Amino acid sequence: MKNASVLNRSCLVLAAIVVCMSLARAAHPGDSKFVDCGSTSNGLSVRAASVQPRQFACPRAILVGERYLRAVRKQAFASVRISVSGATWICRERLYDTNPVLECVMQREPHEIVALVS
């Protein structure tokens, strides 16, 4: 019974990741709904798509970017879960055209997207 519970939780987490990433697929960091927010400590440009005003979305986007970069240095996974201000973000590398983009999508609100581009 305990193994079934662990398996069910694992399936639920995997399903949430798939849903978040598929919902974010339509968003491209070059889209007009993204705003420029500055850069991370390593110089990557931070872009945010959010329903929040820029003055709220951008500081959060930079924090998400920094947390993602820190997490990815510690783990070499295809996707990484991070937490910022109580919200869970699912992050991974995506390939648009020929440029890779590091992208994070808020788990509960998949229209909230942070993209790190070179």
pLDDT digits (tens, 9 = 90+) for 50-103: 999 999 999 999 999 999 999 888 776 678 999 999 999 999 988 877 778 899
Enter the DSSP assignment of 5.
H
User: In whole angstroms, what separates CA 109 from the centre of its chain?
Assistant: 11
Separation of alpha carbons 83 and 22, rounded Å: 20
Contacts of 87 (CB under 8 A, 6+ apart): 106, 107, 108, 109
Q: What is the pTM of this model?
A: 0.72
What is the amino acid identity at position 112?
A: E
